[in-house]
Structure 1
């Protein structure tokens, strides 16, 4: 029997099911009876992890989302939502596209999982007896960077979100876990060496989530809607302007410092030389 034949027929699931006119089951619990009063984030995380979280943990995880909700249409993913509004697309398409571009490798979800992965590996290496200096040096030699450190848009400044979220985490007794300590120790190692990289929000958020008990993959899935709240305002504002009036920049407004313009025939001739 082939793999597909073995899975043919009734869909088998352990995460839940819908029974129209009767009930809905969410990870073994009746959604409309046992879970109907759940906080949305509590339900979302229960779906991801299969675990419920305490009010203190949920407050910190809510804060991680809230404090990175920037309604600025110049940001790469919000720009997608705004331009979709300018083109008179639907809100659903605009936000879905903006969330898809949030997967970016420099600023978005790929950084989240890479940061969490680094912290988990670094913690294991420390437990095995390696020094943090050696761990940091090896990571930089292998990847030329450490995810969660060195903010491209403000290299020398502290991330404006970190102090706010850390203060709230401290008020909930969740600011001194092993991963948070490691995140700060890594920053000090980088600042003391020749690298001079400050910790970004990605490192602090990942450390807090890991201390709460999320795995790197669970953390990545939890962070999927993190930028969502800032997107609808950008879409709405662009939709309220005249059509195509959001960021209608001329090509002449672009500051370009690369190779000079060449005609196609010149390029084609050089390719055959």
Structure 2
């Protein structure tokens, strides 16, 4: 017996549970009047409310701002910023360049995918520990599941310069003792005691804060989506101000080619 196609009842209409523009010209945003109840709110406050349906405390919002600010590097050598800079060097549209740079920020190992996995790991690990598992059990299960521990290790540098200022702010806001943040540092100490080069990186720390703030993995990935954005317009504009095509030009003769020899067609 075939089931009714759920698409049939949506033909010709768009339904929303989160709001929109009404016939009376009022705009509802998750049940609130955008231009009355939410007027004047901080943009990040609105953004997080749109993702979670929850309003956050002022101290939490200060920390959440910092999670973005502390990773806003105007450095064209960074993988996603390089896309923005190349857009400027090639005279592409700035908004297209930013969109492309944010798209490649989804990298699984060191972008949004890393945080998606890390938040899930901290939530799952904390539950397992609460039910009697050991830290080694949790790490072993995660290694079996994914082959790595998201949020630990950094390819080029030992340690992460973003952790200290973030924790200093969190301490000043009394937000540094969350259960998932404490777990993150327990794992960091565990790897250090074993002599493994797997110190916690910024993705691990912010993901632990995300778990403590009540984000699901998917919600936190959405929240962190703009976190690299502030570093991108500067590198785009800087590259655009220089002669066209001068960002990382690569002459053909510098390429070490070991494939088939030239062929006549």
TM-score relative to the length of structure 1: 0.90
Aligned to 1:268: none
The match for 1:186 is 187
TM-score by length of 2: 0.92
Structure 2 vs 1, CA of residues 6 and 205 (structure 1 numbering), >3 Å: closer, same or farther? same
Q: 1:76 aligns with which of 74, 79, 93?
A: 79
Q: Where does residue 153 of structure 1 map in the other structure?
A: 156
**Counterpart-to-counterpart distance in 2, 1:89 and 1:2:** 43
CA distance in 2, matches of 1:143, 1:13: 36
Work out the CA distance in 2 between the residues paired with 1:243 and 1:196. 41
The equivalent residue for 2:246 is: 245
1:71-96 Cα deviation digits (max 9, x unpaired): 10111111111111111111110000
**C-alpha distance 166-263 of structure 1, shift in aligned 2 (>3 A):** same
Question: Is contact 1:133-1:189 (8 Å) kept?
Answer: no
Structure 2 SS opposite 1:3: coil
- Report the Cα distance in structure 2 between the residues aligned to 1:230 and 1:41, rounded to whole angstroms: 17
Contact 1:26-1:47 at 8 Å conserved across structures:
yes
* Structure 1 gaps, min length 5: 266-273
Aligned to 1:199: 200
TM-superposed CA distance for 1:134, in Å, is 2.2
Which of the residues 116, 121, 124 maps onto 1:121? Answer: 124
Distance 1:126 1:84 in 2: 47
Corresponding position of 1:230:
231
Q: 2: distance between equivalents of 1:21 and 1:231? A: 39
Instruction: Specify which of 147, 154, 162 is matched with residue 144 of structure 1.
Output: 147
Tell me by how many angstroms 1:35 deviates.
Answer: 0.5
Q: In 1, distance between residues paired with 2:156 and 2:99?
A: 25
SS at match of 2:215: coil
Residue 22 in 1 paired to residue 25 in 2?
Answer: yes
Deviation string, structure 1 residues 14-35 (Cα, Å, up to 9, x no partner)? 2111248822111111111111
Inter-partner Cα distance in structure 2 for 1:21 and 1:233: 42
1:264 Cα deviation (Å)?
7.0
Deviation string 1:87-139 (CA, Å, 9 cap, x unpaired) is 11111100000000000112110001011111111111111211002221332
Correspondence 1:10-159 to 2 at 5 A = 10-19=13-22, 22-154=25-157, 157-159=158-160
Q: Which residue of 2 aligns with 1:162?
A: 163
Structure 2 gaps of 5+ residues are: none
Please report how far the alpha carbon of residue 146 of structure 1 lies from its aligned counterpart in structure 2 after TM superposition: 0.3
User: Does the 8 Å CA contact 1:85/1:235 hold for their aligned counterparts?
Assistant: yes
Deviation at 1:69, TM superposition (A): 0.2
Paired with 2:239 and 2:23, the residues of 1 have a C-alpha distance of 39
* d(CA) in 2 for partners of 1:169, 1:47: 24
Quick one: which of 3, 6, 9 aligns to 2:9? 6
Q: Deviations over 1:206-251 (max 9, x none)?
A: 1112112112111111000010000000110111111111221324
